[in-house]
Amino acid sequence: MRVLLTGAAGFIGSHIHRAALAAGHEVVAADFMLAAAHGSAALPPPGIARVDVRDPDALGELLHGVDVVCHQAAVVGAGVSAQDAPAYASHNDLGTAVLLAAMDRARCRHLVLASSMVVYGEGRYVDSAGVPAEPAPRTRTDLDNGRFDHRGPDGRPLAWTPIDEDAPLRPRSLYAASKVAQEHYAIAWAAATGGTVTALRYHNVYGPDMPRDTPYSGVAAIFRSALEAGEAPRVFEDGTQARDFIHVRDIAEANVAALEHPLGAFTPLNIASGTPIAIGEVAATLARAYGGKQPVVTGDYRAGDVRHIVASPERARRSLGFVAAVTPSLGLAEFATAPLRSVSGNGAPTWR
């Protein structure tokens, strides 16, 4: 197929680019090379066009003869302050809307959209009797006093259980709000055009070529950057927060599968390893493999973080035949000494 790949020079996009070419597809690659992600003087790699997805004229040229769009371009991260909101809305939401309109004009009817676990907000929980429970967001008072777990009416901590794609969308951050909006635009586009959308809800992605530590980085990059600097990784809360970490090579394979197998009008899929791991264990695994200082559990917290979120990857297995090949224990050990991007964040993202 002829594939338009946006965000092709990014961490995830570059891996998808290689995987799609290896699968025999023709890839039209584009990236705006945002300074916040690539540095202020970065040029697009050979074979990648410098294009802003908010530019309808440039998209019209790229979409000529394209069978499917793989949309990875986005401003990422939880957001540092409310001042980041225009950047998320502009690049993620306006950019997606402009792209969808251009796809309609080009009569391209298949989209693979990079979404995220953050659309769920809090994870899924059960109380001490195994009854589903929906906790309210944690309060600063509780967090300040080291009470990190959600608790049921009996005062006992709620236990996490895997979340599936039918869970309600409850964004807790600026980035999450933008990813929910992207999904909603895609749903409306599919209804208006008869197109198909597969929204891949990535869980915690890590792997070679991940950007170094910035205020917008994922926790694996933050831990790894600390080790490289000769410092101990600093683990927030009590370190028992449960997550699902998935290797970027698996993310790339999931995208290729979604490109090759259109599903329904709108199909969201968790893309996860299926092997939960605690944040403290992520830091400890990286430290052992790197040979660096052991993690320090600080008891600090970051406002807006959720306690536990673990995915069920079952629907992706049934729908796409996708099963992650890299376990977190092996993948994180490899990541401990894998190359990181030497040029990354250059301050907060801008929206103009």
Q: What is the mean pLDDT of the chain?
A: 93
Q: Is 113 exposed, middle or buried (0-12, 13-18, 19+ CB in 10 A)?
A: buried
What's the confidence (pLDDT) of residue 79? 61
Task: For residue 214, give the amino acid letter.
Answer: T
Q: 270 and 243 in contact (C-beta within 8 Å)?
A: no
What's the confidence (pLDDT) of residue 80? 65
Residues ≥6 apart with Cβ < 8 Å to 310: 123, 160, 161, 162, 163, 242, 243, 244, 272, 276
What's the confidence (pLDDT) of residue 346? 59
Q: Highest mean pLDDT: which of 208-217, 292-301, 337-346?
A: 292-301
What's the confidence (pLDDT) of residue 214? 66
Grade residue 218 by pLDDT with cuts at 50, 70 and 90: confident
Whether the pLDDT of residue 115 is over 80: the answer is yes
Specify the pTM.
0.95
Whether the pLDDT of residue 190 is over 70: the answer is yes
What's the confidence (pLDDT) of residue 341? 83
What's the confidence (pLDDT) of residue 40? 78
Span 28-42, average pLDDT: 88
Grade residue 269 by pLDDT with cuts at 50, 70 and 90: very high
Element (H, E) at 320: helix 314-320
Largest interatomic CA distance in the chain: 61
Whether the pLDDT of residue 343 is over 70: the answer is no
Model confidence pLDDT, tens digit, residues 286-304: 999 999 999 999 999 987 7
Measure the CA–CA gap between 296 and 283, rounded to whole angstroms.
9
What's the confidence (pLDDT) of residue 347? 62
What's the confidence (pLDDT) of residue 124? 95
Span 208-224, average pLDDT: 83
Span 133-140, average pLDDT: 89
Q: 181 and 162 in contact (C-beta within 8 Å)?
A: no
What's the confidence (pLDDT) of residue 141? 94
Share of the chain above pLDDT 90, in %: 84
Q: Is 129 exposed, middle or buried (0-12, 13-18, 19+ CB in 10 A)?
A: exposed
What's the confidence (pLDDT) of residue 304? 76
Grade residue 39 by pLDDT with cuts at 50, 70 and 90: confident
